[in-house]
Amino acid sequence: MSGRCAGKVALVTGSSRGLGKAIAQRLAAEGATVVLTARTAEPDPRYDGSLVQTQQEIADAGGTAVTIAADLSDTADRERLFAEAVAQVGAPDIVVNNAAVTFLRPLDGFPERRVRLMLEMHVVAPLHLTQLAIPAMRERGRGWVLNLTSVGGDLPPGPPFSEFDRTAGFGIYGTAKAAMNRMTKSLAAELYDDGIAVNAAAPTNPVATPGAGTLDLAKTDTEDIELITRTALELCTGDPSTVTGRIVQTQTFLREIGVLS
């Protein structure tokens, strides 16, 4: 298949459903061989989507994908995932860190084990997978890393604080995404001379995915998932000498490059 990602391998985490699935499908449609990973390998009535379903939809559309189930909160499983991906299709040219675990509750009663799990999934795992990918990217002189972030990583205005910020329980989620954003900038700076682009992207408004539904989000002012997949495509194919170190929101970024008016 021809396209902007032809001949490239893309690893997309959390690709059994939601944003990860949509981004994987977009990259496959542009010619990438996509490594799909998440915990849900086979269809399960408890969940909406699976790796096998995503793979089949990509194949039906003429694309190529392989599935490797993994628990990305586990260091050894991340290493196994990466080794199996390299063995099956080669080292990735593109890494999309989308997988996440999110709990929303006030900070005064937030369980430590859940804090650690969220930081592992939003910060440690993306860094680790990027570290695993760097040697081959550096040898090729090119590579693209995209971290899926959120406007929740922005500092809330105040005081006075809005009712939402006082009650929504986004403290740990926002902290994790803010850390991801800072890590993205640092990686971009450190890898700039190697031709490796590192960026982060967030939907301007919530996208009505299964995850958002579980958290009772994305009821109003929702955004078309096409905006994040187009943003991902641009950031995963752009010139690493100029399109790197960006922390973007979909609508602002797509207006900047002339896709939206």
Q: Is-catalytic flag, 47?
A: no
Q: pLDDT tens-digit profile of 17-36?
A: 999 999 999 999 999 999 99
In the chain, where do the E strands start and end? Answer: 9-13, 33-37, 64-67, 94-97, 143-148, 196-202, 247-249
Q: In terms of DSSP bridges, do strands 9-13 and 33-37 run parallel, antiparallel, or are they unpaired?
A: parallel
Q: pTM for this structure?
A: 0.94
Please name each of the domains of the chain with its CATH number. 9-256 (3.40.50.720)
pLDDT per residue over 78-104, tens digit each? Answer: 999 999 999 999 999 999 999 999 999
Please measure the distance between the N-terminal and C-terminal CA atoms of the chain and give it in whole angstroms.
Answer: 30
Q: And the tokens for 101?
A: 């675990």
pLDDT at 252 over 70: yes
Options 35, 173, 191, 212, the catalytic residue? 173
